[in-house]
Amino acid sequence: MTSPRSRLTAGLLLLVPLLSSCFSAGGASSSSDSSASGEGGRLRVVLAFQPTENYSPHGQDAFALSRLGVAEGLTRLDANGAAAPALAESWSREKGGRSWVFTLREAAFQDGGEVSAQAVASSLNHAAGAAPAPAALSGVRLTADAVGEDRVRVRTDEPDPVLPLRLSNPSLSVFSPGAYGEKGTVNPAGTATGPFELTGTTGDTAATLDRFDDYWGGRAQAAGIDVRFVSDGTARANALRTGDADIAESLPVAQIASLDEGTVHETDTARNTSLRLNTRSGAFTDAGLRAAAREAVDASAVAEGVHEGHAQPARGLYGPALAWAGGKRGEPAGRAEATEPRGTRITLAAYDDRPELAETAQVLQQQLEKAGFRVGLEVRTYARLESDLLAGKFDAVVASRNMMLDTGDPVSVLASDYTCDGGYNLSFLCDEKADRLIAAAQAETDPAKRQDAAMKAEAAILGTDAEIPLVHLKAVTGVAAPVKGTLLDPYERQFVSTGTRR
């Protein structure tokens, strides 16, 4: 069989612009630059969130692997949120609607193996069998099998009209057979397919990536990436200011004025900050106390006081970055009457990796105490907070969530975050009406009708007061002046590409 490396050469220059032109780029670079010789220096990148699962691709660490260009799946999201080719160059839905066939492009794993149908099917089956299941598979049972050498059939128990979108989730990235160890462990070092290879880590504080020269999409211009994970937002801004970082994500709005104007880039996203109330245990099992919390919260104080005008007061779960949402929104229905808190004690949690969350929690603490609650505040890094959040150890949490992050589909995040069986249900909401409406939305195949159904589910969710939307956010990214080609992705899945360089 001809080597996948040699078979790629003729098409590389045509493919690379497609990959790097999906989103706006930091600096004055053009996507077509990614076909250059690729002799740039190493990039120094500072990210906000430490890996929490030893870089396992089946959880939230998968997004770091995706954003750093290490891992990729069969599909990706384009600028319009549609499924676009990645390791699969095409796909089609089979009769009956429960299976899709994906035709693979010729590509290589970083350990030298070929991206074969058998390897891809095995990788997807490992992800489907992971415990806990990846958020993208919330409520979905998936199996994959090889069809010849270059096609993969993916089946779901029920028809899934957005499966190509679902497979764009970084937690469903493809790895070589050598990645999988005993007891469900996955080692992404040297086993992925992206333009950069994970070659070393320093605990959860730093990582080293080297260029993968045989990447199917062309040779990256940067020789590699040196990554640091820094939870303190001011420290990330200082690293950019002092020249210790080329790219720094999630900068505090309080630092914007002190940075050179050309280094700060704001991007509309589908990300919200919300107050999520624990409906399973503690004070907020009482719908009346949830209503009292909602009435106590003033989102404009968060937008103006905390974000200094760099965010909008939230109108719902889907913000203005999703232009279709505003005209389809209805009023929440079935809300309970507020109950007087009368000194009810609650514990409010927040994580400080995203700069404004801890300050938002302090503002909410004051507002809730003014309404009659007695509020204890718990602030940690997300890595130290996550397990307790998922165990329901707090009454409320200030959390940030990109509503299109998991699949690019407005319905999938509802299934993972707001259903009885949801894998990332921080409110522990289990509401019969909400579950029914979300299930109806999942079954809808027409995109416009699917959006309509999502908005009906939104109204039902907000009617429970399990979540109190606060602000719709912009991503604030710092990019040093010499750096070109940074991807400012509204879906927050890509950060660097073959064309990112300094």
Residues 45 and 94 in one domain: yes
In a shared domain, residues 173 and 139: yes
Same domain, residue pair 15 and 156: yes
CATH number where 186 lies = 3.40.190.10
| Tens digit of each residue's pLDDT, the chain (502 residues) | 333 333 333 333 333 333 333 455 554 333 333 334 446 799 999 999 899 888 999 988 999 999 999 999 999 988 777 899 999 999 999 998 899 999 999 999 999 999 999 999 999 999 999 988 888 887 789 999 999 999 999 999 988 889 999 999 999 999 999 999 988 889 999 999 999 999 999 999 999 999 999 999 999 999 999 999 999 999 999 999 999 999 999 999 989 999 998 999 998 888 999 999 999 999 999 999 999 999 999 999 999 999 998 899 999 999 888 888 888 998 998 999 999 999 999 999 999 988 799 999 999 999 999 999 999 999 999 989 999 999 999 999 999 998 887 778 889 889 989 999 988 999 999 999 999 999 999 888 888 899 999 999 999 999 999 999 999 998 899 999 999 999 988 888 889 999 999 9
Alpha-carbon Rg of the chain, whole angstroms? 22
426 by DSSP, 3-state: which? coil
The domain of 65 spans: 4-229+480-488
418 and 290 part of one domain? yes
In a domain, residue 326? The reply is yes
Helices 447-463, 432-443: axis angle to 10 degrees equals 170
Query: If DSSP states are collapsed to H, E and C, what string results for 76-126?
Result: EECCCCCEEECCEEEEEECCCCCEEEEEECCCECCCCCECCHHHHHHHHHH
Please indicate, yes or no, if residue 364 is contained in any of the structural domains. Answer: yes
- Determine the 3-state secondary structure of 477 from DSSP: strand
Whose tokens are 């058998």? That residue is 118
Residue 152 in domain: yes
**From the CB of residue 486, how many other CB atoms can be counted at a distance below 10 Å?**
30
Report the alpha-carbon angle 269-275-280, nearest 5: 125
What is d(CA 177, CA 48) in angstroms, rounded to the nearest whole number? 30
Domain assignment present for residue 172? The answer is yes
- Co-location of 400 and 462 in the same domain: yes
* Inside any domain, residue 84: yes
pTM: 0.76
Q: Which ranges of 143-223 would DSSP assign to H, the alpha helix?
A: 163-166
Question: Is there a domain that residue 241 lies in?
Answer: no
With respect to residue 341, please indicate whether it lies within any of the assigned structural domains.
Answer: yes
The answer on 291 and 372 residing in a single domain is: yes
Side chain identity at residue 318, one-letter code: Y
Q: How do 396-402 and 486-488 pair as beta strands? A: unpaired
Residues 179 and 113 in one domain: yes
Q: Is position 46 within any domain?
A: yes
Place of tokens 């001809």: 2
Q: What is the CATH number of the domain that holds 324?
A: 3.10.105.10
pLDDT at res. 242: 95
290, 464 contact by CB (below 8 A): yes
484 and 441, same structural domain?
A: no
If asked whether residues 203 and 285 sit together in one domain, one would say no
Number of domains into which the chain is organized: 2
Between the two ends of the chain, the Cα-to-Cα distance in Å is 38
Residue among 106, 102, 150, 116 nearest 9 (CA):
106
Same domain, 142 and 181: yes
pLDDT score at 25: 57
Q: Compute, in degrees rounded to 10, the torsion defined by CA atoms 190, 15, 80, 160.
A: -60
Q: 9: exposed, middle or buried (C-beta count within 10 Å: 0-12, 13-18, 19+)?
A: exposed
**Cα of 244 vs its chain's centroid, Å:** 26
CA count, 13 A, side-chain hemisphere, 230: 23
